[in-house]
Amino acid sequence: MSLDKADTANNPGFKSCLLRVPYTFNSRCVDEGIDAEVKIVQQWDSSKPLPDIDNLLNEFQTFLVDKKLKAEIKENKCKEPDTSCTSTYILPYAERLLNMSIPDYRKFAISLILAPYLVNIQHLSNTEAFGKIKECVLKCNKVRRLEPSEYYFDYLIGKAMESARTSGIKPLKFEETLRHKCKALYDRLH
């Protein structure tokens, strides 16, 4: 989950967990003659709300999908030098998405469908891909205002295209992935 940026010396496990049952005895301390009773050091402050981890879960889920797609791309590389791996093809559901206005799931659609499709399948330049996605986003703006702003979506489109180009990620598969990951968008595109 930490993209290999976690402390390599810290390998928490069940044995190293600092959670002990209060008012029980730690057998290691009993053997050493130390006060062995497990005491409560700090009680849970239930007045504070739990942190919102939805963004973390979305990022992690996107990371897992991206990792799976990269593995599939690696498996499907061209094996014969005569064949071309860079041929373009049309994904009907992505083309439908480009031509419709959707009130929800716009950020999701840009990052996991449109940018990878236009950059890695259609092989459009940054300017062409940006223009097509921006056109789609402006249509969506007429149905429901873009949140937080249109400028944010410009930034999001740029980041999604950059990510798609550097990672080589392909758009979500319609039946296999989109159907389970975002049922509402799948139903709308079906």
Q: pLDDT digits over 92-143, tens only? A: 889 999 999 898 888 999 999 999 999 999 999 999 999 999 999 999 889 8
At residue 16, the pLDDT reads 53
Amino acid (1-letter code) at residue 153: F
Annotated domain spans of the chain: 54-70+89-189
Burial of 97 (0-12, 13-18, 19+ CB in 10 A): buried
At residue 59, the pLDDT reads 75
Using alpha carbons only, how large is the chain's radius of gyration in Å?
A: 24
At residue 119, the pLDDT reads 93
CB within 8 Å of 20: residues ≥ 6 apart: 26, 38
At residue 110, the pLDDT reads 92
At residue 155, the pLDDT reads 92
At residue 82, the pLDDT reads 40
Say which residue, 18 or 107, is predicted with more confidence. 107
Amino acid (1-letter code) at residue 26: N
At residue 55, the pLDDT reads 67
Report which DSSP code applies to 153.
H
Distances, alpha carbon 112 to alpha carbons 21, 33, 71, 84, in Å:
45, 59, 16, 24
Give CA 48 to chain center in angstroms. 28
pLDDT at 6 over 60: no
Q: pLDDT digits over 38-67, tens only?
A: 888 777 777 877 766 666 777 777 788 878
